Structure 1
C-alpha cells in the first residue's frame, strides 16, 4: 500500500489469509505493472467494532461515489467462467450489440421482435431499423446456437450477485468492470451477454418443435432466476447515472427485500439490520429519513439491535406518510421484541395483494399516499425513538366491521409441466363455493330491506374471489365496465368447471377404495343372510346334500364378489397412480399444445390460451393462503389466513387497502380511561370500501402495539 503524498515512501507486505476473498483478489491482481490505492472494507473497517461499523455506514456512499471505477471481483476463475467470458468477448467484438442496445426502448423492441419471430410479423419501414435488424439477425444466426448456458448459470450463481451490500458498491461509481479470475468484462459487455441470452432464448422458443426435455427447460429457467441479481444492479445504476433519480429509502427497502411472485432466491445479508443500512448509500444525500435514522450494531445482543433498527425505520416511514408499509406486516415475526406494526424484513415478505406492481396500488381505501400527519407518537419531540421505546403508535382510521365467520378453504399451488407453478383448480372451486356461501350469509336478515339483485350478488362474488384485482383490471380494459364483469364471469366459470370435474373425478376414485365400497354397500348379499340360525335349521331339515350345495354356491358367489370388488378397486388405483407417476416422470414437455389436445381435456382453447385467463390465474396465485371472511355488519372480503372471528376490519387514513386488527387486553390510562390496543394481522380486501366509500364514518384512533 502506498503511503500518503509527501510522506516517506514505505512499502508493507500485508497478509490477507484471514479473508479468503481479499486474499484471492490480491493474488490474481498482483504484479509490477500498477500501483493502485484500494479500499477493502474487510481491512479498512474493524468488523468487530460496533461503533466503527456504525460510523462507516454513513460514509459508504462517499467512498464508492468518489471512486473512479468499481472493480467487481466475482472470485477465482474456472473453466465455466473462462468459457462464458470468452464467448461474450467474441460476441461483443462483432460491434453489433452495443449500437442496438443504445437505441430507444420502443425501437429496440421492434428490432428484437423482428429478429426472434418465426415467421416474421414485424415490418420495419425505417432503413436504419432494418439495417440494425439485419446485423442483429446475422449475429444471432452465428452465435445463438452455441450460447454457453450452463457456464452462464455458473457465473450468475456466484455469491457476489446474491449479496445486498454489493448493490451500492457496484452502482455508485461512474464506471464498473466485472472480473472473474483473469477474465475481465466491462459492465456494458456483461449486460450485453445477459441481453443476448434473452434474445437467443426467445429465438429458440419460436423455432423449437415437439416435446422438450425437462432438464433443458429447467436449465434455461434457472438462468432467468439467477439473472435477477444482475438486473438489480443494472436498474439501480441506470436510475442513478442515466435518469439522475435516487429512490427514497422506503422504496429501496421494499424493492430489495420482498420476495418475487416467482419465489426467486432472497438477497443475502450477514446482519439483519443491513437490509436497511446496506441501502442507505443509494438514496440522495439529503434524503430526510436517511439524515435522521440511527445505525445500531450490538454483537452482544443482536436481536435488540435488529428490533431497534426496524422499529425506528418504520416510525420514520410512517411519520413521512408512507402508510402502506403496514401492508408488509404478516403475522408473528421471527425477530424477538418487534411490534406487530413493524415489518420483519428477515421474513420472506411479498408485495401486498392490493398492489398491481411495485408501488402501484390498485385501490385507495384510506385516501391513498402520501398522507402524513395522521400518525400520533407518544413523544412528539422524538417520535422515532419514542416508538422504539414504547413499541406502540396511534393512527386515525375508520372502523368497518367485526369478523363473524371465516372460511376454511384457500387457494394452493402445484408444480407440473417442467416445474411451472399453477393454481390447483379443485381448491379454487372449493374457494369459490365458500365465497358464494359467505356472500349469501351476509345478506340482511331484515326482510323489509330490498335484497340486492342477482347481478349485484354475482359481481360481489367475482370481486371477492381474487381480492378485486381481476375486476379492476378487466373493467379498465373493456368498455363498458359491465362487459369486463361479463368477461370475468366467463373466465371464472371456466376455472370452476375444471375444478368441479377434478373434484368429481377424485370423489369417484375415493369411492372405489375397498373401505368405501364395503361401507356403502346398500344390499346385503344373500349368502350373508343365509347363515342366520333359522335359515340354517331349515337347510338341515331339507337334508345335508341340499345344505352342502347351498354352501358351495354361497362360497362361489362370495369369491366372485370379492374378486370383482378387488379388481375394480385395483383398476382405479392403478389408473390414478399411473397418471401421477406419468406426470412426474415424463422426460419431455410440449410447450405448444394444439387446440384439439386442449379440447380433448375438456378445455376451451379460446379461453385458456387468452391473456385474460392468465391474468386471472396470476391474481388467484397472489391470494394463495388467504381466507374469505364475513363481518357482522354484512361485509364480505378476503383476509390473511390467520383471520379469526372477533378480529376487526379497519381502514387507516393514507393506506390503500384495509387492515385486519386483533384486539388485546385494554389498559387503563393515567386519566382513568381505558385505551384499547390492537395488533396487526395483515391486509384485507373488503368489498364496498376499497375506493374510500367508508371515509368520514365511524372514525377513531387505533393504537397499534
Structure 2
C-alpha cells in the first residue's frame, strides 16, 4: 500500500446550484472500496451528478427514515465521492449507509436521488430552493425505492408469504378490474348463502380458497414487524412514496411492489373478519388485542394508498389547508414524525393541488425561526377558515408562539364540535365576512370580527375520561361520567331562569332536562338522536342512555366506598364500638380479683385474649375478602376470555333487541364560540389571549346575529 493511499481524503465541496434553474443532483452508486477486515462491508463509493428536472434521463428516488440517534447532531459515516479532481469524503447517517450497502449489492438502481446527499444540508438557501422543486423531482422519477431497514426472520417470512399470495392473482383481480363489485363479494365471503352472479361466485370461491390455504399461515408477527418500521410514521415519506409512478418496498434482501403491500393488508382484513365471524368459543383478550392492533398499524400504509389514489387515479388532490389538518391532527393516535418542525408544513407542499391558492402563498425558508414560520402559516390558513383557531390547544411544545397560532408540532385533537375533520355540527358564526387581518408591529397580532356573548361566571372541574385498562377498544370511565353529569346538572339548574325568560311557555323541568343532556357532550349526542329519531323520541333515548351511565357510575362509586370501608384502619376509625377488653377494670378491683380468685382473673384474661384474636382475625379476613374481591374484578375484566357473540338470553336481560371573567366571543365564519382572556385594555385597543373553544347553549346555530342589542366589533388577538 502506497503512502498516497494512506493520505486523508479532503472533504467534498458542493458546487452551487443556480436558483434560477430547475437543477438538482443525482447519486451514482459505484462498487464499494474493499474493507481491510475480511467479512465486513467496504466503504461506499459514489459520484454526484448535476441534472435538470425537465431533461434528465431515467432515475430513481430513495425514500427512507433518517433515524438520527438522540444527541447526534452531525453524520458520522464516511462515503467516498469520486470527482474529476480525485476522491473526496462525505459523511452521512448510519441508516442511509445501511440502505446504500444493500441497494448497491443488489444492483437495484444506477442513478438515484437521495435528499441527504443530493442536497447540501448545510446550505439553507439551497435546501429551501430544492424543497420547492421536490414535487417535480419525485414525479419525474421512474420509481421510488422505499428502504424499510434490515430484515428479520419475521419480516422475511412476511415477504415470502405475501409474494406467494399475490402470485395467485386473485387479490389483484378484485382490487383491479372487478373492484366495483368487491364489497358484494366481501359480504358473500362472510355469508356464502348470499346470491351472486358468475363473476362474483368465482371471486368469492377463490377468496375462500385463499383463506383456507394461507389464513393460518399468514405471519401476523411479520406483518406487525414490517408495519412497525419507522418509515411508516414519517411525514416526508408520504409525498416521496405518492408522487412517483411506482413504488418498491425493500427490506434487507426482500422486496415487494406497492400493490403487493396493499394486497397483503386487504387479505388480512378479509381473513380476520372471516375468522371473527366463524369464532364460536371464547378467546384470550391478548389474541384480540394483537389482531386489532394490526389495523391501527396500517395507518401509514393507508395514508400512502389514499394519496396515491388522489394523485394517480381520481386526480382530486387536496388543498394544503386540508393536508395540514389531516397530517398534523393525530387525535390520540401516534403523531406523525418529522425531523424538523418546519417540515410539518413544507413536507406536504408536494401533495397539494397544483393550483392551490394556499400553497402559492407559503414561503419556503429554512432560515426562518419556527415561531415566525408557524405565524405566517396561521395567517394564511385563517384567510381560509376561522376554525384554525380551534387547534390552539395545550400543552404546547413550541415556546413563544402567539396565542392564535397553532403549534403543529404538538399532539392535536379534533375540536369538540366536530365529528371528524371538516365535519362541524354547528355554525355559530354563519358565513365568513371580512377575513382576519394581520396587524403590523413588533408582536404578531391578528384582528378578527366577532360578537361578544358574555363573560364566564363559574368554571367547572369535572372531565369525562376513558377506562385506563380497556378490553379491546376504548370505553367510558363511568365514575368520571357520573361526576361530570352531576356538575352539568348543577350548571343547568342555575341557567334555567335565563332560558325561560326567552320562552315563558317552557316548563322549568323540560328546560333543565334539555340543557342537561346537551351539556353532557356539547350537544353532539342531543343533535344526533333528535335528528335521527325526532325531538320527543330522541330526548327519551338520550335520557335513558344518560340515566344508565349515571346509574352505573353511581354503583361503581358506592362499590369503591364499600371496599374502602373494609380497610382495617377505616373500620377502627368508624365502627363506634369499644370492645369490652379495651375497658379494663379499676386498679383496686383488679388487685382484689387476682388476690381472692386468681382462677377467675386468669379466665377473664384468657377470654379477653381470645376475643381480641377472634375480632382481629375477623377484621383481617373481612378486609382481605373485600380487597381480594376488588382485585378479582379488575383482573377478570382485563384477562378474562371474551365471547364476541352474546347469547339471546343475556341480550334480553339487558332490555335490548336484535376561569371566571374570561369572555365568550363568536367570530364571523366560525362554527363555534371561542374563549378570550383580556391581556391589555388600552384607550384605543384591547388585546386578548386566545384560550379555546366553548359551547353556548342557544347560540350554536347563528342565533347571536338575531339579537338587536349585540353589535359586531373587532377583537385583537396576541
1:183 Cα deviation after fit: 2.4
The reply to whether residue 277 of structure 1 matches residue 292 of structure 2 is no
Structure 1 position 398 matched with structure 2 position 411:
no
Q: CA 1:228–1:515 in 2, change beyond 3 Å: closer, same or farther? A: same
Q: Is the 8 A contact 1:470 1:488 kept in 2?
A: yes
Partner of 1:477: 532
CA distance in 1, matches of 2:419, 2:154: 39
Q: How far apart are the structure 1 equivalents of 2:672 and 2:279?
A: 45
Alpha-carbon offset, residue 365 of structure 1: 1.1
1:373 aligns with 2:434: yes
Q: Which runs of 5+ in 1 are unaligned?
A: 299-303, 380-385, 611-643
Query: Aligned in 2, Cα 1:455/1:36: closer, same or farther, shift over 3 Å?
Result: same
Shift of 1:342: 0.9
Q: Distance in 2 between matches of 1:28 and 1:297?
A: 32
1:683 is aligned to 2:693: yes
Report if aligned partners of 2:103, 2:109 keep a CA contact under 8 Å in 1: no
Whether the 8 Å contact between 1:354 and 1:361 is mirrored in structure 2 is: yes
SS at match of 2:216: helix
Query: CA 1:104–1:17 in structure 2 vs 1: closer, same or farther (change >3 Å)?
Result: same
Q: Structure 1 residue 316 and structure 2 residue 329: aligned?
A: no
Q: Deviations over 1:341-388 (max 9, x none)?
A: 1111111101112111121111111115xx262313224xxxxxx6xx
Q: Does 1:60 align with 2:134?
A: yes
Cα deviation, residue 95, structure 1: 1.4
Larger displacement relative to structure 2 (250-259 or 415-424): 415-424
Query: 1:289 — aligned with what?
Result: 358
Tell me the number of residue pairs that the alignment of Structure 1 and Structure 2 aligns. 635
CA distance in 2 between counterparts of 1:33 and 1:297 reads 35
3-state SS of the aligned residue for 2:111? coil
2:33 — aligned with what? none
Q: Residues 422 and 54 (structure 1 numbering): CA distance in 2 closer, same or farther, change over 3 Å?
A: same
Superposed counterparts of 1:354-369, under 5 Å = 354-367=417-430
- Give the corresponding residue for 1:454: 509
Q: 1:650 aligns with which of 665, 680, 695?
A: 665
Change (3 A) 1:37 1:350: same
SS at match of 1:443: helix
Aligned residues of 2:500 and 2:508 also touching (Cα < 8 A): no
Q: 1:343 to 1:448 in 2, by over 3 A?
A: closer
Cα shift at 1:452: 3.8
Match of 2:461?
Answer: 408
Please, what is the CA RMSD of the aligned residues?
A: 3.2
Equivalent of 2:404, from 341, 349, 358? 341
Matched, 1:497 2:551: yes
Q: Would the alpha carbon gap of residues 452 and 329 (structure 1) be closer, same or farther in structure 2, given more than 3 Å must change?
A: farther
Cα distance, 1:58 vs. partner? 0.7
Give the TM-score normalised by the residue count of structure 2: 0.81
CA distance in 1, matches of 2:106, 2:574: 88
- 2:12 aligned partner: none
**Aligned match of 2:35:** none
- The corresponding residue for 1:420 is 473
Closer, same or farther: CA 398–89 of 1 in aligned 2, 3 Å: same
Equivalent residue number for residue 573 of structure 1: 627
Alignment of 1:219-298 (within 5 A): 219-260=290-331, 263-298=332-367
Q: Once the two structures are superposed, what CA deviation does each residue of 1:40-96 show, in whole Å capped at 9, x if it has no partner?
A: 111110112211111111111111122232222223333333221221221111111
By relative contact order (CA 8 Å, sep 6+), the higher-ranking structure is 1
Counterpart position of 2:369:
305
Distance 1:456 1:421 in 2: 32
Q: Tell me which residue corresponds to 1:435.
A: 488
- Which digits, 9 at most, give the CA deviation of each residue in 1:13-57, with x for residues without a partner? 887762434433333333797873321111110112211111111
Q: Following superposition of structure 1 onto structure 2, how do residues 140-179 of structure 1 map, counting pairs within 5 Å?
A: 140-179=211-250
CA deviation digits over 1:547-595, x for unaligned, max 9? 94767666655554444333322321222233334445x3744434445
Q: For the residues of structure 2 that align with 1:34 and 1:595, how far apart are their CA atoms?
A: 59
CA distance in 1, matches of 2:109, 2:301: 30
Q: Is the 8 A contact 1:277 1:295 kept in 2?
A: yes
Task: Say which SS state the counterpart of residue 212 (structure 1) adopts.
Answer: coil
Give secondary structure in 1 for the equivalent of 2:458. strand
Q: Tell me the equivalent position of 1:615.
A: none
> Could you tell me how far 1:435 is from its partner in structure 2?
0.7
TM-score between both structures, scaled by the size of structure 1: 0.83
8 Å CA contact 2:496–2:511 kept in 1: the answer is: no
TM-aligned CA distance change 1:417 to 1:330, over 3 Å: closer
**Cα distance in structure 1, aligned partners of 2:581 and 2:99:** 87
- Report Cα offsets for 1:255-280 as digits up to 9, x if no partner: 011114xx332211101111011001
Once residues 526 and 386 of structure 2 are traced to their aligned partners in structure 1, the CA distance between those partners, rounded to angstroms, is: 25
Which residue of 2 is the match for residue 591 of structure 1? Answer: 644
Partners of 1:331 and 1:682 within 8 A in 2: no
